[in-house]
Amino acid sequence: MRRPSSAFHSLSPGWATRELQTPDQNINFSYDHKHTYLCLWLLLSLVSFLCLFPATSAATFRVGVVGPWSCDPLFTKAQPGLAARLAVDRINRDPYLSQGITFDYVILEEDCETSQAFARFLGFYTRASGFIGPVNPGYCEAASLLAKSWNKAVFSWSCIGHELDDARSHPTFAHTMPLPSLVLLRFMHHFRWAHVGIISSAEDVWLEAGIKLANVLRSHGLPVGIVASVHNDHTSVRETLARVKKVADLRLVILVMHSVLIGGGTQKLLLETAYDMRMTDGSLVFLPYDTLFYSLPYHHITQPVLRHNSKLLRAYDAVLTITIESPQEQSFYQAFEKAQEEGGLPRHLKPQQVSPLFGTIYSSIMFMAHAVQSVRASGQWMSGGNIAQNGRNLLFKGFSLQANSSDFGTMDYVVLDTDGFSWELQPTYHIEMQTDMVRFLGRPIHFPPAGPPKTDSSCWFTHGLICRGGVNLLHMVSIFLSGFLFIFFSIGCSYCIRRKISKIRMVRGPNKILLTLNDVTFINPSLSNKKLSLDDSKASDSRMSISDRSLKSTSSIQSPATYENSNVAIYEGDWAWLKRLPFGNFRSITPHTSDVFELMKDMRHENVNPFLGFFHDCGVFAIVTEYCSRGSLEDLLLNDDVKLDWMFKSSLILDLIKGMKYLHHRNVCHGRLKSRNCVVDGRFVLKITDYGYNEVLEAQRFPYVEPPAETLLWTAPEILRGPYPGLYGSLPGDVYSFSIIMQEVVMRGTPFCMLEYSFDEIVQKIRKPPPMCRPIVSPDHAPMECIQLMKQCWNELPEKRPTFDEIFDQFKNVNKGKKTNIIDSMLRMLEQYSSNLEELIRERTEELEIEKQKTEKLLTQMLPPSVAEALKLGTTVEPEYFDSVSLYFSDIVGFTTISANSEPIEVVDLLNDLYTTFDAVIGNHDVYKVETIGDAYMVASGVPVPNGNRHAAEIANMALDILSAVGTFKMRHMPDVPVRIRIGLHTGPCVAGVVGLTMPRYCLFGDTVTTASRMESTGLPYRIHVHSSTVKILMDLKLGYEVELRARTELKGKGIEETYWLTGRDGFTKPLPVPPVLKSGHESKDFKVMLKKAVRKISTVRHVAQLTLSDEGNVMIHHH
């Protein structure tokens, strides 16, 4: 007999469930217990009888959806509440799934930290009948064991680990989709990529997933080279990628974090940084991990994050995306829109705003509902173990896919790829989990130029012991070879000992070569007012001016100097320059490189920049040389502030000749000689640097990168025609490079500056003559002997070029016996500098004074001069009390009506014109404009500088002038409508001070301000409303002011007081506008009539203009 559908474990105690689930079928009745068994039999019969009647109400099965929904915005983006509600609604409407059961759901928040997440899970016992989750795989085993004691089912898509596969230890646990590790194993097996690294985000949910995944892959015998975590910052990402780069034989990097395609910021930063570090060239494949848990839409869908980020698009060419396959006609977006049309989801929510994990949550709940129905159909007890057991071999329809779960599921997956140019993901391979096959879909994977990664031995994916250790034939051969090689051990032992001693000398002692951060201290040379010499590898444009370069170099002053942003350091108390090498293989320094370093260390000459050591730390590799404060020769030549006469130039050329003569005597070929690699120290002595650079690159087997045409202008023709121009040099080639530098010095310009060709054109003409392309130097720039020497040095035939010994002898004759004394040249230059400096200081001082006057004028227009001066000195402006000041307030009558019938720009023009008129008036009086608010205009006199009793007269005179000016003022857009203002004056005490730090304002406070405002608001158009306090002072001054008693006026908050009209003054002859009939309240009738006429006129003009434009448009359309 089937048990009733309402018998849920969540509604019964554990002991009852266990007793009823495994009833004893072989009960032996004894005579001693006859009465006991008889009572039990009667009780069971009664229960069976009651079960024959149908239940009066359906039982409720509540699904708890567990996850970090509020910890991470991208998990919140999955909308678990909407997914659960949609699934539950469809289940309850399905007659097959809701037979006697009502499904419900509850969203259970998982803590961000693993330990706290499990502690919170302990409290979920009474809140749900079964659980979907957890998302954090760190406590899956513990949650499963806890659910086993509760006898409640736990269905999860993210939990991995062999422990959970044991149905005896974890009977209530079930997977809702294939294990991600199995999908990855099938993928890696097909492409034979065994060496894998794992980078996870620093959040606990991803950190635990990365550790679990690494353990599972290692349990299958795969070599996991590195397991690292990153934070969402540049430093952490760069350090982690540097560690990954050092791992040997790495093929695949699994990114355990949110995919960048759904908004993962950490993955975006990591891929962009990997692109900058040249790790996306195809030698590595990056594989997102979280896309294995949902069906990512890809059919003819443009990925916005790739479309709007070109760097990320190029970096994503090294990424392969594995996701659950969905049919083209039933993608996640289409399923979401269909649910919206059916009313199951809100219509305002766009599918692109929802994470595809929405579909996984929905499918997991449907999966559990089918398992519950399977338990009911089989007549089993509704327990967690039975639900999990029946969760296998189910065929059901998920949100956007057809799902079939047996053991670990048989969903199919698809491998998506982009070609680095388009914004769509294209399917390339199909992973069939049921048949354990990877099927090609006809479109090959597009790898970057250096790809694909090398394949590993197939033994990593078999059960043999060849790759993973153990005894087999290969090991026997290894033992034999080891015995054979032992014969040569004694021969190589002495060599190794000598090499070891040499290495010790390189890292220890006073003459050590290998340097680290403990040996050098990075500094910013701009802080010491020293010019930064340009690095050849960093120079971008030889025609860039010194001022532009200085601007670029000073942009890094804002941040402290580190090995990442500075090439200048202090080594053994002196400044040193670091010539950075490109990223390459520097895990170990080859013996040949050590020999090159020893040779460079032995170079000692006045005109050769000494080699101090090799910096090798923090992923930075650089040749350390002495720092020369004058910069490179190119800097010196392009610096117009340095005056160079022929004596100075010949001294620099002779230093170059001496240095190259020394190198060639030591049989050292420079190979990279150019003006950028010649530096000048503080004594204006030229020194050659960058010698041995090519030998270091060759010894360390750096990949060849063809240099830009700009850097090949100094390269000899025979080397340009070779296979690797710029990488190898020759002694005659150095002579040719010297001739080009000589042209730069003589003409004080860039190489071939007299030719109107681009760099590429010049290099092509040199490489493929005729005609022969060489610089053209006029005899006006140098002696003829010097020009002849230059031409000999750039001869097309290398064997006809002179040696530096011959060049030295010929150049000494150029000056005809005169000594090229740099000291005499410096003295002459210092005299010129002193005269030029005085003129330059005078000009700069005048410019500074003009700018200072402009600044002070602007400041005094915003604040009173005394206040502005105090603020400039940095002192606090204390509030000041004034015994008696006079205030002026005015506003426009009917401004609201005018504004309502005007365009915004017309209102702005009105106020600007009116206030410009006011500002012109107040400039003739001892007053201070406080502020304007809308159409209100406030002026004070007696502040901030007291002026006795004159403040009342100044305000009164100003009010009369303003009223006279308003009488003739016309609005641009309503010239027929007069602008009528009300004016109010009042005198009394107040406090003034500066308010605020950002845009400070000089404000007045006190009852006087309020009363003056009341005087204005109770006034009438074209009237100056004056308080008795102001009238008293005006009468005392006896200046002939004419006032009329208005009668007693009620002032708000003040009561009834006597006020006056100011109508004129003796000697004031300017016309005043005639006030309208004295009425309080709104505009008079005549003003309204004028305003209506003006508005009607403006409306008619605008209507006619619109009709005209419309007619013109129709005519043009008809003509077309």
pLDDT tens track for 1062-1108: 999 999 999 999 888 755 444 455 666 666 676 677 666 565 555 44
* Spatial distance between the Cα atoms of 316 and 323, rounded to a whole number of angstroms: 16
Tell me which of 247 and 816 has the higher pLDDT. 247
Residue 259 lies in a domain: yes
The rounded distance, in Å, linking the Cα atoms of 639 and 619 is: 35
In a domain, 95, yes or no: yes
pLDDT tops 80 at residue 857: no
Structure tokens at 372: 């519950």
Residue 467, pLDDT score? 65
How far is the C-alpha of 195 from the C-alpha of 456, rounded, in Å? 8
pLDDT digit string (tens) for 941-967? 999 889 988 999 999 999 999 999 999
Residues 6+ apart with CB under 8 A from 288: 255, 257, 259, 260, 261, 267, 319, 321, 322
- Residues 274 and 224 occupy one common structural domain: yes
In a domain, 952, yes or no: yes
Last residue of a domain, one of 408, 432, 456: 432
**Structural domain includes residue 643:** yes
* In a domain? residue 1103: no
| Percent of the chain scoring above 90 in pLDDT | 48
pLDDT tops 70 at residue 1117: no
Q: What is the mean pLDDT of residues 990-1005?
A: 84
pLDDT at 37: 42
Running DSSP on this structure, what letter comes out for residue 667?
Answer: T
Q: Do residue 841 and residue 748 come from a single domain?
A: no
Distance, CA of 79 to CA of 363 (rounded, Å):
14
Tally Cβ neighbours within 10 Å of residue 869. 15
Do 632 and 743 reside in the same domain of the chain? yes
Q: Give backbone dihedrals phi and psi of 897, rounded to 5 degrees, phi first.
A: -70, -40
From 721, 716, 751, select the one nearest 737 (Cα to Cα).
716
Residue 134 identity: P
pLDDT band at 863 (very low <50, low <70, confident <90, very high): confident
pLDDT digits (tens, 9 = 90+) for 464-479: 555 655 445 566 677 7
993 lies in the same domain as 888: yes
For residues 25 and 912, give the distance between their C-alpha atoms in angstroms, rounded to a whole number: 101
What is the per-residue pLDDT for 469? 52
| Residue pair 222/191 in contact by the 8 Å Cβ criterion | no
Residue range of the domain that includes 289: 60-432
Tell me the pLDDT tens digit for each residue of 817-839. 555 555 666 666 666 677 778 88
What is the C-alpha to C-alpha distance for residues 763 and 773, in angstroms, rounded to an integer? Answer: 9
Q: Are residues 934 and 1033 part of one domain?
A: yes
CATH number, position 917: 3.30.70.1230
Q: Give the separation between CA 734 and CA 673, rounded to whole angstroms.
A: 6
Residues 832 and 915 in one domain: no
CA-nearest of 570, 680, 701, 696 to 633 is 680
Number of domains in the chain: 4
Q: Looking at 376, 411, 432, which one is the last position of a domain?
A: 432
| Residue in 121, 127, 124, 129 with CA at minimum distance from that of residue 9 | 129
Name the band, by pLDDT with cuts 50, 70 and 90, for residue 313.
Answer: very high
Residue 508 sits at φ, ψ, to 5 deg, of -135, 165
C-alpha distance from residue 342 to each of 78, 338, 668 (Å): 20, 6, 82
Q: With a cut of 60, say whether residue 98 has pLDDT above it.
A: yes
User: Distance between CA 637 and CA 743 in Å, rounded?
Assistant: 11
Residues 761 and 842 in one domain: no
pLDDT tens, residue by residue, 728-767: 889 999 999 999 999 999 999 899 988 888 999 999 999 9
Other beta carbons within 10 angstroms of residue 457's beta carbon come to 11
pLDDT tens digits for range 655-664: 999 999 999 9
Least confident of 377-381, 532-536, 850-854: 532-536
State how far the Cα of 659 lies from the Cα of 686, in Å rounded to an integer: 9
HSE-up of 1007 (CA within 13 Å, CB side)? 7
Residue 371 binned pLDDT confidence (cut-offs 50, 70, 90): very high
- Report the pLDDT averaged over residues 537-549: 39
Q: Are 993 and 1003 in contact (CB under 8 A)?
A: yes
Which of 115-119, 141-145, 492-496, 530-534 is least confident?
Answer: 530-534
Fill in the amino acid letter for 346. P
Same domain for 681 and 656: yes
Q: Domain containing 650 — which CATH number? A: 1.10.510.10
Of residues 351 and 814, more confidence is placed in 351
Q: Is residue 832 in a domain? A: yes
Same domain, 803 and 854: no
Its pTM stands at 0.44
Long-range contacts of 223-226, Cβ-Cβ distance < 8 Å, separation of 24 or more:
223/194, 223/195, 223/196, 223/460, 224/196, 224/197, 224/198, 225/195, 225/196, 225/197, 225/249, 225/250, 226/197, 226/198, 226/199, 226/250
List the structure tokens of 435.
């048949």
Q: Estimate to the nearest angstrom the gap between the alpha carbon of 1002 and the chain centroid.
A: 41
Q: Helix, strand, or coil here: 983?
A: strand
Pairing of strands 611-617, 514-515: parallel
Distance in angstroms (rounded) separating the CA atoms of residues 179 and 906: 70
Residues 804 and 879 placed together within one structural domain of the fold: no
Domain membership flag for residue 9: no
At 53 the pLDDT is 36
Average pLDDT over the chain, rounded to an integer: 82
Q: Please tell me whether residue 529 adopts helix, strand or coil conformation.
A: coil
Does residue 3 fall inside a structural domain? no
pLDDT class of 194 with cuts at 50, 70, 90:
very high
What DSSP string describes 201-224?
ESSHHHHHHHHHHHHHHHHTT--E
Claim to verify: residue 214 and residue 242 sit in the same structural domain: yes
Residues 6+ apart with CB under 8 A from 659: 605, 607, 608, 686, 687, 688
CATH code, domain with 175: 3.40.50.2300
Are β-strands 196-201 and 224-230 bridged in parallel, bridged antiparallel, or unpaired? parallel
668 and 619 share one domain: yes
